């Protein structure tokens, strides 16, 4: 294997004093003086760059190719740095340029606007900001798997191509075959003659799995044809959906709270340099916010309480607050940012504004649903106890105009070995926005999919 380099992060931690190491990465800056030239090289292991000293005319015939963006392999000795700021540098003994970048390389400046960087999605991972975001994304993804595995959950893969519209919100992308790979008869007939779409949620299939395996979670891509240009919606995002048999709504509140706190604590412990970077350049107060959230219990209020609070608060909202109407983003923000000043679970929403599969309460006006609202983000989790009574579920499906014949498998879960169960869905990108302070959801996923962005 060619890649036997030493991560720059470890060199800067002082683990290689006086050792000979090989470093591979990209030139951030290059400058030369009389007898010596300096390269700042970055390999993605940390947002910091390692200073490399090219003494004795090493590579001096290559100086033209050593501009910002060039890819290099360098061997040398790690020595204590006399320069201010960094403690370690590399005295190069060998240098190989695998690819120069030239003066047209777009990332010449130190800072670029996030908007501009979005237009060069293939290069923006090379910036400090996106280095940090994508390392955080990787860490959090692993932490999520660890969290569930340690608690006995099975990771299940639910289909991406499906005939179910779980949310009933008509936000699916349809799947269509192309003429050259199907017979003429099938053309325009979607999935081998049947209508199919990309999944908006793996929940319904997840329920079937939970009734067999007890505790499962899904973690995969989810698709919604959101034609809304908000900073919180993508057409393709990653969702985490635990589903637990013999559980009720309160169990889900406890699980969701413990989950968020655990992820925040792990990020605080293991992603310190990334968090310091975000604190400095993205959201001042981020560390304090995360430390506070990892200590304090979340607030829990019912939808009816929330409406009463919003109606009494005297705030001039754009949308009126009325029992029976869905909470708007401005209402959610008010509740968790102004009123509570911390994460808030809102439970027991009106039955008419939530999905058909949520358990109807005894009052028959509300369902056992919850949303978790985070300051600065709004809704990050939506969950519920599932309707486990066959006849009530069937009636709800009919009310919502859902094809009970096509969904007979789902009803059958209530006929055979019925069990109460509950679960929730959490958007990975919204969690990453919360953890990094990044304001636009398109900046926490490597290649965002949104209207006019493919
Ligand atoms: P919103 O009200 O913000 O549109 P939702 O109620 O439609 O969200 P759910 O169906 O409850 O979303 O999905 C569960 C979670 O998935 C949400 O709480 C959110 O974290 C995430 N999510 C939903 N839609 C999107 C999207 N378009 N882009 C990114 N994340 C999303
Ligand atoms: Mg939505
Ligand atoms: Mg919502
Ligand atoms: Mg929701």
Tens-place pLDDT, residues 359-376: 999 999 999 999 999 999
pLDDT > 90: percent of the chain:
81
Atom of ligand 1 nearest to the CA of 430: 20
pLDDT(248) > 80: yes
Confidence of residue 384 (pLDDT cuts 50, 70, 90): very high
Residue of minimum CA distance from atom 11 in ligand 1: 382
Q: Where in the chain is the domain with CATH 2.40.50.140?
A: 8-110
Ligand in closest contact with the CA of 202: 1
Which three-class secondary structure state does DSSP give residue 240?
Answer: strand
Measured between alpha carbons, how far is residue 57 from residues 79, 83, 96, 310 in Å? 19, 20, 14, 71
Separation of CA 371 and ligand 4 centre (Å): 6
**Residue 351: which residues within 8 A CB-CB, separation 6 or more?**
358, 360, 361, 364, 365, 366, 367
Distance from CA of residue 387 to its chain's centroid? 29
Name the residue with higher pLDDT: 205 or 226: 205
Residues 6 or more apart whose CB falls under 8 angstroms from that of 290 comprise 264, 267, 268, 275, 435
- Res 110: pLDDT: 77
pLDDT at 169 over 80: no
| Ligand found nearest the CA of 378 | 1
Kindly report the CA angle at 141 between 140 and 144, in degrees rounded to 5? 85
Q: For residue 94, which of 43, 64, 50, 59 has the smallest C-alpha distance? A: 59
Out of 237, 358, 369, mutate this one to test ligand 1's pocket (max ligand atoms within 8 Å of CB): namely 237
- Helices 128-150 & 249-270, crossing angle to 10 degrees? 130
- For residue 397, pLDDT beyond 70: yes
411: pLDDT strictly greater than 90: yes
Mean pLDDT of the chain: 93
Ligand 1 in reach of 427 Cβ (< 6 A) = yes
Give me the mean pLDDT over the 279-302 stretch. 95
Residue pair 190/177 in contact (Cβ under 8 Å)? The answer is yes
- The CATH code of domain 8-110 reads 2.40.50.140
Q: Mean pLDDT over residues 137-166, rounded?
A: 95
pLDDT confidence of residue 185: 58
Distance separating alpha carbons of residues 358 and 371, to the nearest angstrom: 13
Q: Which atom of ligand 1 is nearest to the CA of 234?
A: 28
SS3 call for 302 = strand
Q: Is the CB of 382 under 6 A from ligand 1?
A: yes
Would you place residue 209 in the very low, low, confident or very high pLDDT band (cuts 50, 70, 90)?
A: very high
pLDDT > 70? residue 222: yes
What confidence score (pLDDT) does residue 380 get? 97
Helix, strand or coil for residue 196? coil
> Is it the case that residue 181 has pLDDT exceeding 80?
no
Q: Is the ipTM of this complex over 0.85?
A: yes
Cβ-based neighbours of 208, under 8 Å, separated by 6 or more: 409, 410, 413
Within 8 A by CB and 6+ apart from 111, the residues are none
Q: Ligand nearest 381 Cα, by number?
A: 1
Residue 183: the pLDDT is 58
Give yes or no for residue 89 CB within 6 A of ligand 1.
no
Prediction pTM value: 0.94
Residue 178 has pLDDT above 80, yes or no: no
E strand residue ranges, 279-343: 299-302
Cα–Cα dist 23/181, whole Å = 47
pLDDT given for residue 59 in this prediction: 80
- Reported as a pLDDT band with limits 50, 70 and 90, residue 186 is low
Tell me what pLDDT residue 388 has: 97
pLDDT of residue 86: 76
- Closest ligand 1 atom to residue 379 Cα is 18
Phi, psi (5° rounding) for residue 44? 85, -5
Which residues neighbour 436 within 8 Å (Cβ) at sequence distance 6 or greater?
132, 133, 136, 274, 278, 282, 283, 286, 444
Residue limits of CATH 3.30.930.10 in the chain:
124-443
What does the pLDDT read at residue 306? 97
Ligand nearest to the CA of 377: 1
Residues 59-107 have pLDDT tens digits of 888 888 999 999 999 999 999 988 777 789 999 999 999 999 998 999 9
Residue 290 contacts residue 264 (beta carbons within 8 Å): yes
Ligand 4 centroid to Cα of residue 167, in Å, is 9
Which ligand 1 atom lies nearest to the CA of residue 425? 14
Quickly name the fold that domain 124-443 has. Answer: BirA Bifunctional Protein; domain 2 (3.30.930)
Q: Is the pLDDT of residue 3 over 70?
A: no
Identify any residues that bridge with 90 across adjacent strands, giving them in sequence order: 52, 78
- Give the list of residues 6+ apart from residue 149 with CB closer than 8 angstroms, or none: 155
């Amino acid at each position: 294997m060619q890649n036997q380099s030493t991560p720059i992060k470890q060199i800067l931690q002082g683990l290689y004093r006086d050792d000979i190491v090989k470093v591979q990465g990209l030139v951030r800056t290059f400058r030369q003086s009389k007898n010596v030239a300096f390269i700042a090289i970055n390999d993605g292991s940390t947002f910091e760059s390692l200073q490399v000293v090219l003494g004795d005319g090493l590579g001096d015939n290559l100086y033209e190719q050593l501009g910002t963006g060039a890819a290099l392999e360098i061997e040398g000795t790690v020595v204590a740095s006399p320069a201010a700021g960094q403690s370690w540098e590399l005295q190069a003994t060998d240098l190989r340029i695998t690819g120069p970048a030239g003066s047209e390389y777009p990332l010449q400046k130190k800072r670029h606007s996030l908007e501009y960087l979005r237009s060069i999605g293939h290069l923006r991972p090379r910036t400090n900001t996106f280095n940090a975001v994508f390392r955080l994304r990787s860490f959090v993804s692993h932490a999520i798997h660890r969290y569930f595995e340690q608690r006995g959950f099975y990771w299940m893969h639910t289909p991406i191509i499906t005939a179910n519209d779980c949310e009933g919100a008509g936000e699916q992308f349809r799947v269509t075959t192309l003429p050259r790979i199907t017979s003429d008869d099938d053309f325009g007939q979607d999935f081998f003659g049947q209508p199919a779409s990309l999944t908006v949620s793996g929940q319904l299939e997840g329920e079937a799995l939970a009734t067999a395996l007890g505790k499962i979670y899904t973690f995969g891509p989810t698709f919604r044809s959101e034609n809304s240009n908000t900073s919180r919606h993508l057409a393709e995002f990653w969702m985490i959906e635990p589903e637990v048999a013999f559980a009720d709504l309160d169990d889900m509140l406890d699980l969701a709270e413990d989950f968020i706190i655990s992820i925040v604590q792990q990020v605080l412990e293991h992603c310190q340099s990334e968090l310091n970077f975000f604190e400095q350049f993205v959201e001042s107060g981020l560390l304090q916010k995360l430390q506070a959230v990892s200590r304090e219990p979340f607030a829990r209020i019912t939808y009816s309480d929330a409406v009463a609070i919003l109606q009494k608060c005297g705030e001039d909202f754009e949308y009126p607050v009325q029992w029976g109407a869905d909470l708007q983003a401005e209402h959610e923000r008010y509740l968790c940012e102004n009123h509570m000043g911390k994460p808030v679970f809102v439970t027991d929403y009106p039955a008419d504004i939530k999905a058909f599969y949520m358990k109807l309460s005894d009052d028959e006006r509300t369902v056992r649903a919850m949303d978790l609202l985070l300051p600065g983000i709004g809704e990050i989790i939506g969950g519920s106890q599932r309707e486990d009574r066959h006849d009530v579920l069937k009636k709800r499906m009919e009310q919502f105009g859902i094809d009970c014949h096509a969904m007979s498998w789902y009803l059958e879960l209530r006929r055979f070995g019925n069990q109460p169960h509950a679960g929730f869905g959490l958007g990975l990108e919204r969690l990453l926005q919360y953890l990094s302070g990044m304001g636009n959801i398109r900046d926490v996923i490597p290649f965002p999919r949104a209207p006019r962005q493919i």
